[in-house]
A = this chain, B = another copy of it.
Amino acid sequence: MQIFKPLKTIGSIFEKHEAMLKEATAAVQKREHYTPFPEMPSPQEYGETAEADQKKQFESQMGGKFERLKQDSDSWLASDEESPYTGKPLGISYPVYTDIDSYIKASEKASQDWKHTDPKTRAGILIESLQRLKTHFFEIAHATMHTTGQAFMMSFQASGPHAADRALEAIALGYQELTRFPDHISWEKPAGKFSLKLEKFGTNVGRGLGLSIGCATFPTWNSMPGLYASLIAGNAVIVKPHPKAIYPMAIVVGVIQEVLSENGFSPNLVMLAVDTTEKQITKKLAEHSSVRIIDFTGGSEFGRYVEELPGKIVFTEKAGINSVIIDSVDDLEAMAKNIAFSVSLYSGQMCTAPQNIYVPESGIKLKEGHASLADVENAIVNATKGLVEHPKAGHAVAGAIQSKATIERVKKASGLGGKILLESKPIANPEFPDATTQSPVIIEVERNKRDIIKGEMFGPIVFIIPTKDSAESLELASGNAREHGAISCSAYTQDPELMEKIAMQMAETGTPVSFNLTGNIYVNQNSGFSDFHVTGGNPSGNASFTNAEFVVKRFVRIQSRVFVP
């Protein structure tokens, strides 16, 4: 007997990807290093002609219709996207519905088959889509570069393999949770001479239509985890990318639609809903009664609006103030170089980029001797200057600035009244002479001017804040995290007791700390399968990639029972 029969099961697609699912599930649990998708854009990994072929595909896409979506639509919309590298519009048009209800209706219809499919089939199809996406990583890299302003290497890694890692992580944890409890239990309760018997049958039901609201800086990395988590749980999803960064997610959605179609599912299960800055549709979608799940990455104000929508299940990543606490360090130079890289990487436009650096006024202890506040400041300033002025590394690390608002913010920051330690300047990029660039501005904020720092100031803006001592540094860092949120924290200390104190006090504000980073490993980086990205424990976001909460809220478990006489 079985009262919950899946209407549709495709064994072969599960079997094809079973080994990868198993590996991923083990990795999620162990949280050791695991990279199923090679992070280097090398010909050995991706094929001799992949890079050239896909660059051509990217170039031929410029100025044309994006015809790879299989979803229903009633017209074409020219997007707002423009390249921070060339200053020119991409000129891409996407298929759209002119009214919101058409997206909702099409999604809901498409979800009928999917929700009655077993988790195995869903996992197989979703992993197949990631494997297929792998053959588009170079195109995604160019698409990301010319929408977000990321440099090529980051565009490739973040939007390609790392985003696929995060999606696979969500599939694996989702699959684990969906199959956590037995689907059939023979329940028997002793009751005197005889016993009471029930056959119990369990099933999972998706919470309903999902909406994925994307951001302009990490269009695939930030959107794919929630998208795949909703899908594995049995829900349809409408993908509403940022109007300035549509193309990367269009590729992802196109690939998923292709795999769905091939396997007999409606491609409308995942729909791309494109809008323009002038005429946004996000609120209409978010407030629609059929939308039950919302994944959001972006600014804090809109994030709060989403979080407070009644009756929705909401996952947010917003903004925060990331701190660096400098207490003592073996090698000042090595620390300064590491910090310089972290604040310059993608010009401070990462949600994990440090903003406020706390240094005791009396300076810090070194392995040998002591460094004054000025020594520390000089080291950071010089390392940053050296990096951004380096003819090759400068633009390759900093990329370009995604939005004009960020440029404005950098300019305003210089005029706030702090002591400018390093001016922000354009960064030369020989390949793209018209790129919008801006190196980090580094500002010392004296004690009596601390109120010039107003929450998060997104972009290449760095404050060095002299403090009485490391205890005050920690108070300020944790207070900011509690009040404004924080996604990362970096700390340098050679004192094991202080290390514990910082770790615990920041943990209580929901902030992970990276200690004593030097060399080629940076506070900005959060690894799929190992690091929890955002904890949900402070105002920077209410969710985490990927913990159990991120997946279990997307479905409910129902267990029915049949009496056996």
Contacts and interface: CB of A to CB of B under 8 A. Distances in A.
Interface of A: 1, 3-5, 29-33, 115-116, 177, 180-182, 185-191, 196, 198, 200-203, 205, 207, 307-308, 310-311, 496, 499-500, 503-504, 506-508, 510-521, 527, 530-532, 535-537, 544, 547-549, 552-553, 556-563, 565
B503 A4 contact: yes
A11 B564 CA distance: 45
A514 B559 CA distance: 9
B514 A561 contact: yes
A507 B4 contact: yes
11 contacts: A3-B499, A3-B503, A29-B181, A32-B185, A32-B187, A33-B188, A200-B531, A205-B510, A512-B559, A544-B556, A553-B553
A251 B377 CA distance: 61
Nearest to A115: B508
B519 A562 contact: no
B180 A31 contact: no
A250 B558 CA distance: 33
A544 B520 CA distance: 46
How many copies the complex holds: the figure is: 2
Given A207-B537, A503-B4, A560-B514, A530 B200 contact: yes
Nearest to A561: B514
Contacts of A503: 3-4, 201, 560
A510 B548 CA distance: 21
A34 to B, nearest CB: 10
A205 B544 contact: no
Given A181-B31, A310-B308, A558 B532 contact: yes
Given A4-B507, A503-B3, A515 B558 contact: no
A563 B500 contact: no
Given A3-B503, A503-B201, A515 B549 contact: no
Nearest to A191: B520
Contacts of A521: 196, 198, 563
A106 B548 CA distance: 32
B557 A532 contact: yes
A289 to B, nearest CB: 12
A510 B558 contact: yes
Contacts of A308: 310
A15 B123 CA distance: 40
Given A4-B500, A552-B552, 18 more contacts: A3-B500, A4-B504, A29-B180, A31-B202, A32-B185, A33-B188, A185-B530, A187-B527, A189-B527, A307-B310, A307-B311, A511-B558, A512-B558, A531-B559, A536-B556, A548-B548, A549-B552, A553-B553
Contacts of A3: 499-500, 503-504, 515
A41 to B, nearest CB: 15
Given A31-B182, A181-B29, A530-B187, A561 B200 contact: no
Contacts of A530: 185, 187, 200
A508 B115 CA distance: 10
Contact of A31 (B190, B200, B499): B200
Contacts of A558: 506-507, 510-512, 532, 535, 537
A427 to B, nearest CB: 26
A565 B518 contact: yes
Nearest to A186: B32
Contacts of A527: 187, 189
A294 to B, nearest CB: 15
Given A4-B504, A552-B547, A535 B512 contact: no
B559 A516 contact: no
A549 B180 CA distance: 13
B562 A515 contact: yes
